[in-house]
């Protein structure tokens, strides 16, 4: 009891590093990378200041830079020239992601490559898979018919050289289907990072502009989780772990720290995705001079680690690598 017990002793200046419970490490950061088949040069993304869409033939210098900075992996998203009902550009051997993966694999061999496996950038509906009339008659994402599409996308990414495929469509059975598809095609060593607990969040707004993946009708609430539901989110990750996911993910990150902490108990590595809206809010406030960008960004990242994430996907990856370097 006070005055014998003084909590502030642990916080004396020289003691601080000794008693830090968690650390941010550059190799546990994953940088998203937008590859745009229609771009002629790196094109700034207005809703995400500091982020760019890169033409496929300009991804190598960026990947090399991220690798030199010590970043653990890139997460590749593609913006195709053409969209159709079947998302056929998503599994094209010469598609935008496949090209980018082959180039990075060849020129930056040490960098881990993760690909986003979804169809919303490739369908003319903007929905994450095949659409049709569902049980109650409305048009919606059809679950089982979309699974084969996800298998084909994942296999084409693995064939191009992806180390990890990351399905983000929240279909039932997606991990099992992709695992079977990869194994049948001989890619039993390709990992699956499942977007296992992904919420129907308004924080994806800037990304949908960046990736041109907004829904042309409806929304994603029949497959992404209601933000009110923590136990349901846990059950989603539990299910994907059972289907053979190698890594689980909680998305968004900062408003769902309770879910990260719960999912960690499943024992698999856990990734958290600090999404576009989380990034853009910090950027915007900082640009207005209202907050200290570096301090708030680093605080947001260490909070995600404290909650229990091993890996963090963040648009701050490259900045954070520099900040950590400067602090070392
Ligand atoms: C595609 C996908 C989305 C994000 C990652 N993969 C958008 C969505 O589900 O609408 C969001 C990433 C971000 O906001 O940074 N399914
Ligand atoms: Zn999608």
Q: Write the pLDDT tens digit of every residue in 1-36.
A: 999 999 999 999 999 999 999 999 999 999 999 999
* CB contact set of 187 (below 8 Å; sequence gap of 6+): 155, 158, 159
- How is residue 109 annotated by DSSP? T
| pLDDT of amino acid 64 | 98
Closest listed residue to residue 327, CA positions, set 51, 25, 105: 25
With a cut of 90, say whether residue 137 has pLDDT above it: no
Task: Say whether pLDDT at 144 is over 90.
Answer: yes
Indicate the pLDDT class of residue 225, thresholds 50, 70 and 90.
very high
Please give the number of the atom of ligand 1 that sits closest to the Cα of 206: 14
The residue annotated as part of the active site, out of 5, 198, 221, 287, is 198
E strand intervals along the chain = 29-36, 43-44, 52-54, 73-79, 112-117, 131-133, 139-141, 164-167, 191-198, 247-251, 270-274, 311-314
pLDDT digits (tens, 9 = 90+) for 227-286: 999 999 999 999 999 999 999 999 999 999 999 999 999 999 999 999 999 999 999 999
Q: pTM of whole model > 0.85?
A: yes
| Cα 318–Cα 319–Cα 323 angle in degrees, nearest 5 | 120
The domain in which residue 90 lies consists of 24-247
Cβ atoms of 275 and 253 closer than 8 Å? yes
Number of structural domains found in the chain? 1
Is residue 128 domain-resident?
yes
Active site residue 198: yes
> Tens digits of per-residue pLDDT, 277-315?
999 999 999 999 999 999 999 999 999 999 999 999 999
User: Does 271 reside within a domain?
Assistant: no
Q: Is residue 180 domain-resident?
A: yes
Does the C-beta of 128 come closer than 6 Å to ligand 1? yes
> 60 C-alpha vs ligand 2 centroid, how far in Å?
25
- Can you tell me whether residue 300 is helix, strand or coil? helix
Burial of residue 109 (number of CB atoms within 10 Å: 0-12, 13-18, 19+) = exposed
Instruction: Dig out the tokens for 117 from the structure.
Output: 């496996």
CB distance 90 to 119 below 8 Å: yes
Q: 118 CB contacts (<8 Å, ≥6 apart)?
A: 128, 129, 150, 153, 167, 168, 169
CATH of the domain at 32: 3.20.20.70
Structural domain includes residue 6: no
Q: Ligand 1 atom 14: the closest Cα is on which residue? A: 204
Structure tokens at 41: 């040069």
| Ligand 1 pocket, residue 281 CB under 6 Å | no
Ligand 1 pocket test, candidate residues 118, 167, 215, 221, most atoms within 8 A of CB: 118
DSSP-derived secondary structure letter, 119: S
242 lies in some domain: yes
> Which residue's alpha carbon is at the smallest distance from atom 12 of ligand 1?
275
Read off the pLDDT band of 136 (50, 70, 90). Answer: confident
Residue 47 lies in a domain: yes
Inside any domain, residue 182: yes
Which ligand is closest in space to the CA of residue 280?
1
Using pLDDT thresholds of 50, 70 and 90, give the confidence band for residue 134: confident
Is 168 a pocket residue for ligand 1 (Cβ < 6 Å)?
A: yes
Secondary structure (3-state) at 145: helix
CA quadruple 235, 236, 241, 242: dihedral, nearest 10: 70
Residue by residue, DSSP assigns 32-80 as: EEEEETT-SS-EE-TTSTT-EEE-GGGHHHHHHHHHHTT--EEEEEEE-
Catalytic site residue 83? no
* Per-residue model confidence as pLDDT tens digits over 88-115: 999 999 999 999 999 999 999 999 999 9
Residue nearest to atom 8 of ligand 1 (CA): 204
**For residue 135, what pLDDT is reported?**
86
């Amino acid at each position: 009891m006070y005055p014998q017990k003084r909590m502030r002793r642990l916080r004396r200046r020289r003691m601080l590093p000794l008693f830090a419970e968690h650390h941010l490490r550059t190799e546990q950061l994953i940088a998203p990378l937008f590859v745009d088949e229609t771009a002629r040069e790196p094109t700034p993304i207005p809703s995400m200041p500091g982020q760019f869409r890169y033409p496929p033939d300009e991804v190598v210098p960026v990947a090399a830079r991220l690798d030199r900075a010590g970043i653990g992996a890139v997460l590749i998203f593609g913006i195709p020239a053409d969209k159709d009902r079947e998302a056929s550009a998503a599994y094209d051997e010469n598609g935008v992601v496949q090209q980018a993966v082959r180039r990075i694999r060849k020129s930056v061999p040490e960098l881990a490559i993760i690909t986003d496996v979804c169809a919303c950038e490739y369908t003319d509906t903007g929905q994450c898979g095949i659409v049709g009339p569902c049980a109650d008659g409305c048009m919606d994402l059809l679950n089982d018919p979309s699974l084969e599409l996800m298998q084909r996308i994942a296999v084409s990414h693995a064939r191009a050289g992806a180390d990890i495929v990351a399905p983000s469509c929240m279909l039932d059975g997606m991990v099992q289907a992709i695992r079977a598809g990869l194994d049948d095609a001989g890619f039993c060593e390709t990992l699956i990072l499942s977007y296992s607990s992904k919420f129907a969040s308004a924080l994806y707004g800037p990304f949908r502009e960046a990736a041109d993946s907004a829904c042309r009708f409806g929304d994603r609430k029949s497959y992404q989780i209601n933000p009110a539901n923590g136990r349901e989110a846990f059950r989603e990750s539990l299910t994907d772990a059972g289907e053979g996911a190698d890594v689980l993910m909680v998305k968004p990150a900062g408003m769902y720290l309770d879910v990260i902490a719960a999912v960690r108990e499943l024992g698999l590595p856990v990734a958290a995705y600090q999404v576009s809206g989380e990034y853009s809010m910090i950027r915007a406030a900082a640009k207005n001079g209202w907050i200290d960008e570096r301090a708030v960004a680093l605080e947001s990242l260490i909070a995600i680690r404290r909650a229990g994430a091993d890996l963090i996907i963040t648009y701050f990856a490259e900045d954070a690598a520099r900040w950590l370097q400067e602090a070392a």
